[in-house]
Amino acid sequence: MPIHVTSEIGKLKTVMLHKPGIELEHLVPEELERLLFDDIPYLETARREHDFFARILTENGVEVKYLEDLTAEVFKLSPQIKEDFLRQFIREGGSTANQYSQQLYELLTEIRDEKELVLKLMSGVQMQELRSAISSPLTNLVRTSGHFILDPIPNLYFTRDPFASIGRGVSLNRMYSKTRRRETIFGQYILEYHPDLSGTVFYYNRDLPFSVEGGDILNLSSHVLAVGISQRTTPEAIEILAQNMFRDPSCEIDTVLALDIPSIRAYMHLDTVFTQVDRDKFVIHPGILGSLRIYSIRPGGRDNTELRVAQLSSPLPDVLASSLGTDHVTMIHCGGKDRIAAEREQWNDGSNTLCIEPGKVVVYDRNYITNRLLEDSGVQVLEMPSSELSRGRGGPRCMSMPLVRETISW
C-alpha cells in the first residue's frame, strides 16, 4: 500500500482515521484554549458520529485504516522500535514528563497489549498514576491527583494535519502549536517502519523549525500543489517543501500555488475555507476572496536548486482553471450570498468537504445551505452528524488522511 495521492478528487481507496478516545474526556475548561478546543465534546456521541463517518467511507468502497492500529502494528515489529518511540514521546512531553521520565517509561512498559499502550499514550498520564513513584513532597502536596504529567492529545482525530500525502511522498509536518507536535511522532514511526508504508519519500521533516500543517496542503493535480499561508503554515516552510519536491526526480510537482489567507483561528487552514469537490468545482468561503493573494512557485536554476516566485494578478478562478487545464471552474460559495449564513457555515466547517470521487463529497449535515448549493451544482452530498465532532474545529477533510487515491485523467 505505497502512498499514492495526486489529486483532491480521485476515487479514495485507502484512508487513515483516528476514532476519538478517552483523550476527549481529559479536556477540562481551563485547558481548552491551550489544547485548541472551543468546548468539551461528549465522547459517546462523538464516537457514534465518527463511526457514521467511517461507515459512509466503507460503504463507498474505501479501505479505512486507524492510526491506533497502525501504530500498534509498528510496536509489534520490534521491542527496540517500541522503546525508541516511548522514550521520544516522553522526551517531547514537556519538562514535567522529563523530570519523571524513567517512572513514566516503567509505567507505560507495564502495558503489554500494544493497542492499549497506544491509546494510553493518546489519553495522557495523570499525577495519581505515578504518585507512589514520586519522591517530591512539595509536588505531592501542591499538584492535584488529576494533574497531567503527560498531556492528552485530543486533536488526534484530525488526522489530516500531522502529515500530508503528496504524490508518492509525504510532508511530515512541524505543527504550529506545541500542543500538537507529539502527534507527528505517530506518523514518523508509521511511515518509517510499517511494512505497508516504509520507504516513503519525505519532502518535509518534523524537526525543521518552520510550521506547516496538512490542512493547508491540497493536491490540485499530479503537477500542481496548493498550499495555504495561514495561521499555522509559514512561507519559509512552503519554500523548503517546494525545494525538496523540485529536487526529487520522481516527484511530478512542478508548480506550487501559495495562497495567502487571513491569519485568524476561524481560517486556521486553507481547507477550512476552500476545498475541491469535482473536476471543475470548488467550495469556498467568500470572506477570503477580497484579501486573497496568490503566489506561483516554480523550479529554476541549475538542478532546480532555485525557486522562481511570482505574485499572480489573475483572480483565483482563472488561476485554478489554468492550473487544471480547463476553460472554467465553478466557485460554490459556502453559505451562499447571505453574509451571516456564510460566516456561520464556514465556522461549522461548511467549506471543509471530503471528496471521495469526482462529484461526491462527505459533509456535515448542519451546513444545510452550502449542502443544498452543492446539490444544485450537481455534486452528490453524503451527510454526517456533527454535534460533537465539530467542537474540535474541523470537518470531514480534517478528520481524514488519504493514503491512496485513483489517478485522475485530466
Any bridge partners for residue 383, and if so which?
363
Residue 363 burial by CB count (10 A; 0-12/13-18/19+): exposed, middle or buried?
Answer: buried
Q: Residue 140 — pLDDT band, cuts 50, 70, 90?
A: low
Instruction: Say if residues 359 and 375 touch (Cβ distance below 8 Å).
Output: no
Q: Is the dihedral of CA 196, 202, 203, 209 positive or negative?
A: positive
Q: What mean pLDDT do residues 42-65 have?
A: 97
Cα atoms found within 13 Å of the Cα of residue 68, Cβ hemisphere only = 20
Among the residue ranges 51-65, 112-126, 135-149, 233-247, the one predicted with the least confidence is 135-149
Strand order in the sheet with 12-17: 63-66, 12-17, 401-405
Q: How confident is the model at residue 86 (pLDDT cuts 50, 70, 90)?
A: very high
8 Å CB contact between 54 and 382: no
Q: What is the pLDDT of the chain when averaged over all its residues?
A: 92
Cβ–Cβ under 8 Å, residues 62 and 15 = yes
Is the alpha carbon torsion for 95, 205, 300, 316 positive or negative? negative
Query: How do residues 389-400 score in pLDDT, each as one tens digit?
Result: 999 889 999 999
Average pLDDT over every residue of 367-377: 97
Distance CA 63, CA 15 (A): 6
When pLDDT is averaged across residues 290-317 and rounded to a whole number, the result is 89
Give the ranges where 134-234 is alpha helix by DSSP (H).
137-142, 183-193
3-class secondary-structure state, position 289: coil
Q: Each residue of 2-17: pLDDT tens digit? A: 899 999 999 999 999 9
**Three cell numbers at 102?**
524513567
**Averaged over 315-321, what is the pLDDT?**
94
Residue recorded with cell 521520565: 101
In the chain, pLDDT over 90 holds for what percent of residues?
Answer: 79
The pLDDT value given to residue 99: 85
**Is a pLDDT exceeding 70 seen at residue 120?**
yes
* Residue of 73, 153, 65 lying closest to 403 (CA atoms): 65
β-strand 281-284 against 274-278: which pairing, if any? antiparallel
For the ranges 25-39, 206-220, 293-307, the one whose mean pLDDT is highest: 206-220
pLDDT band at 253, cuts 50/70/90?
Answer: very high
Residues tagged active-site: 398
Coil/strand/helix, residue 150: strand
Q: With contact defined as beta carbons under 8 Å apart, do 230 and 270 qualify? A: yes
pLDDT exceeds 60 at position 333: yes
Confidence at residue 137, expressed as pLDDT on a 0 to 100 scale: 52
Tell me: pLDDT of 24 over 60.
Answer: yes
- Name the one residue in this structure whose C-alpha cell is 452530498: 381
Architecture of domain 12-68+154-405: 5-stranded Propeller (3.75)
Least-confidence region, from 7-21, 94-108, 200-214: 94-108
Q: What pLDDT score was predicted for residue 134? A: 56
pLDDT at residue 138, as a whole number: 46
pLDDT of residue 41: 92
Determine the Cα–Cα distance for residues 313 and 295; give it in Å rounded to an integer. Answer: 9
pLDDT of residue 136: 59
Are 237 and 210 in contact by the 8 Å Cβ rule? The answer is yes
Set of cell numbers at residue 108? 507505560
The residues near 133 (Cβ < 8 Å, ≥ 6 apart) are 100, 103, 106, 107
What's the rounded mean pLDDT across residues 146-163?
91
**Residue 84 pLDDT more than 50?**
yes
Rounded CA gap, 387 and 299, in Å? 45
Query: What is the band of 141 on the pLDDT scale with cuts at 50, 70, 90?
Result: very low
Residue 135's Cβ-side half-sphere holds a number of Cα atoms within 13 Å equal to 2
User: Do the Cβ atoms of 121 and 359 come closer than 8 Å?
Assistant: no
CA distance 125 to 175: 22
Tell me what pLDDT residue 288 has: 85
Q: Which of 33-47, 80-94, 225-239 comes out lowest in average pLDDT?
A: 33-47
Instruction: Kindly state the cell numbers that stand for 378.
Output: 450537481
C-alpha cell at 150: 503527560
What Rg do the C-alpha atoms of the chain give, in angstroms?
21
Evaluate whether 164 touches 405 at the Cβ level (below 8 Å): no
For residue 143, pLDDT beyond 60: no
Please answer whether residues 333 and 369 qualify as being in contact, where contact means their C-beta atoms are separated by less than 8 angstroms: no
Mean pLDDT for the stretch of residues 10-35: 93
Task: Answer whether 0.75 is exceeded by the pTM.
Answer: yes
Alpha-carbon distance 57 to 43, whole Å? 21
Residue 142 has pLDDT above 70, yes or no: no
pLDDT more than 70, % of the chain: 95
User: Taking the domains of the chain in order of start, what are their residue ranges?
Assistant: 12-68+154-405, 94-150
